[in-house]
């Protein structure tokens, strides 16, 4: 017999190797149910796992997995929140089902009815979370997905939760039946919610937003912005151009580098700068415009209108407010202009080089009616000494040109030199 402690007989070595193979096989078989519980299809992921644990008064089933990158991603859930973060090399996901059932057995039944399916083709990776046997009360889910930043497109859908996306250049399509939508550091985005708020930070492409009644806020969009909300407020810091509509909230725009169309049924409209044309309308609020390089139209049923640093002409009308307008464009820039209010004053500031032909009238003036800092304008009045009078002012400035018409039914008109 060989007394060498390192010597092992062939029969003994074969037995030990067989034992190790058996242990390995048992370990793989024990983990198979955990991998299968995530519901991945053929080729769905590099790895998947699942675990069940207690968290306070709730039970949580947590599934996670990894899929190799694809051009597109679609995540859809019958309930709960979905969060996407760019910056990963692969597609990584964590799905947390949460049940507030009274027992672990009941929680497991709920988890079994809410099935997770992960699948992948050469072009699209898909995550779906669906009810298979009726919805459960006191149940929620949360889906977290990390993706490569440079994916082509990402589509997120949930029937009853919030959506968020950050740090991706993909084209985003975000839809929720009633939750909020948020995102920052994005490519182009299309966001739809039946009643929640939408908050977007930096957007490098276009932003299309629709809400059934929530507020909408967009930070800086390099592309076009289109917003339609049934009743919320809208705030946009900057955009290339835009169409903004709300059923009853206020509109606040910092800058539009192109044309802007802003409409509200009853709130105020406040715009700082428009480098193109501006069309501003409200059913009853005030309108304020800081500056515009293009032509401006503004209308309100009963509020005031303020328009400053206008390079071209304007058409502004209000049912019962004051109109203030400043025209700073020189020769060749000013276009035909009409300023009309039924029951308010009109104050006009004109650059000394604006060539125009003025026709102004106050139909029922109780005071001076019209005051002018331009001696070229001839002011005349008709009517009694003590009652309302009709006052008009006509004349040409800087050789005449495009027409400036100013009308008020009951109010004063001031025509001043821009300082």
Count of the separate structural domains present in the chain: 1
SS3 307: strand
Q: Which residue has the tokens 């760019």?
A: 86
pLDDT band at 185 (very low <50, low <70, confident <90, very high): very high
Report yes or no on 3 lying in a domain: no
pLDDT band at 364 (very low <50, low <70, confident <90, very high): confident
Report yes or no on 362 lying in a domain: no
Report yes or no on 371 lying in a domain: no
Q: Please check whether residue 193 is in contact with residue 209, taking contact to mean a CB–CB distance below 8 angstroms.
A: no
Strand partners, 143: 82, 95
Residue 372: the pLDDT is 96
pLDDT band at 279 (very low <50, low <70, confident <90, very high): very high
pLDDT band at 31 (very low <50, low <70, confident <90, very high): very low
Q: Answer yes or no: is pLDDT of 37 > 90.
A: no
Instruction: DSSP letter for 177, please.
Output: S
Q: Please check whether residue 267 is in contact with residue 251, taking contact to mean a CB–CB distance below 8 angstroms.
A: yes
Short-list 282, 284, 276, CA closest to 264: 282
pLDDT band at 384 (very low <50, low <70, confident <90, very high): low
Instruction: DSSP letter for 38, please.
Output: T
Report yes or no on 217 lying in a domain: no
Report yes or no on 45 lying in a domain: yes
State the sign of the Cα–Cα–Cα–Cα dihedral 193, 195, 201, 204.
positive
Residue 9: the pLDDT is 44
Domain around 132: 34-179
For 190-241, write each residue's pLDDT tens digit: 999 998 999 999 999 999 999 998 999 999 999 999 999 998 999 999 999 9
For 324-349, write each residue's pLDDT tens digit: 999 998 788 999 999 999 999 999 99
Report yes or no on 113 lying in a domain: yes
Strand partners, 298: 280, 316
Report yes or no on 264 lying in a domain: no
Strand partners, 51: 62
Residue 352: the pLDDT is 84
Class of residue 243 by CB neighbours under 10 A (exposed 0-12, middle 13-18, buried 19+): middle
Residue 28: the pLDDT is 37
For 257-267, write each residue's pLDDT tens digit: 999 999 999 89
Q: Answer yes or no: is pLDDT of 32 > 70.
A: no
Kindly state the tokens that stand for 111. Answer: 């988890």
Q: Please check whether residue 415 is in contact with residue 358, taking contact to mean a CB–CB distance below 8 angstroms.
A: yes
Tell me how far apart the alpha carbons of residues 154 and 151 are, in angstroms, rounded to a whole number.
8
Report yes or no on 185 lying in a domain: no
Q: Answer yes or no: is pLDDT of 24 > 90.
A: no
């Amino acid at each position: 017999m060989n007394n060498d402690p390192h010597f092992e007989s062939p029969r003994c070595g074969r037995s030990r190797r067989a034992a190790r193979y058996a242990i390995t096989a048992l370990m793989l078989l024990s983990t198979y149910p955990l991998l299968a519980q995530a519901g991945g299809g053929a080729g769905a992921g590099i790895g998947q796992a699942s675990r069940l644990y207690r968290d306070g008064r709730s039970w949580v089933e947590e599934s996670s997995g990894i899929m190799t990158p694809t051009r597109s991603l679609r995540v859809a859930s019958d309930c709960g929140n979905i969060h996407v973060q760019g910056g990963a090399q692969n597609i990584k996901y964590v799905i947390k089902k949460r049940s507030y059932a009274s027992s672990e057995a009941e929680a497991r039944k709920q988890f079994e009815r809410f099935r997770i399916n992960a699948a992948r083709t050469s072009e699209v990776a898909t995550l779906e979370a669906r009810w298979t046997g009726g919805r459960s009360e006191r149940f929620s889910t949360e889906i977290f997905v990390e993706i490569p930043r440079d994916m082509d497109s990402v589509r997120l859908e949930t029937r009853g939760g919030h959506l968020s996306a950050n740090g991706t250049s993909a084209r985003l399509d975000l839809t929720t039946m009633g939750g909020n939508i948020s995102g920052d550091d994005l490519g182009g985005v299309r966001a739809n919610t039946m009643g929640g708020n939408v908050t977007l930070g930096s957007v490098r492409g276009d932003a299309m937003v629709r809400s059934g009644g929530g507020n909408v806020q967009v930070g800086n969009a390099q592309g076009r912005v289109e917003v339609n909300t049934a009743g919320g407020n809208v705030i946009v810091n900057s955009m290339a151009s835009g169409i903004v509509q709300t059923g009853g909230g206020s509109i606040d725009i910092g800058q539009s580098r192109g044309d802007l169309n802003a409409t509200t049924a009853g709130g105020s409209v406040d715009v700082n700068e428009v480098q193109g044309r501006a069309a501003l309308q409200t059913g009853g609020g005030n309108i304020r415009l800081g500056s515009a390089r293009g032509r401006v139209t503004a209308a309100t049923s009963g509020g005031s209108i303020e328009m400053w640093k206008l390079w071209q002409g304007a058409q502004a009308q209000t049912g019962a407010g004051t109109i203030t307008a400043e025209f700073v464009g020189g020769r060749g820039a000013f276009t035909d202009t009409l300023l009309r209010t039924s029951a308010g004053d009109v104050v006009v500031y004109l650059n000394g080089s604006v060539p125009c032909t003025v026709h102004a009238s106050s139909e029922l003036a109780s005071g001076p009616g019209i005051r002018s800092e331009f001696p070229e304008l001839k002011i005349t009045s008709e009517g009694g000494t003590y009652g309302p009078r009709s006052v008009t002012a006509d004349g040409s400035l800087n050789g005449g040109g495009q027409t400036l018409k100013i009308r008020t039914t009951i109010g004063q008109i001031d025509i001043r030199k821009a300082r």
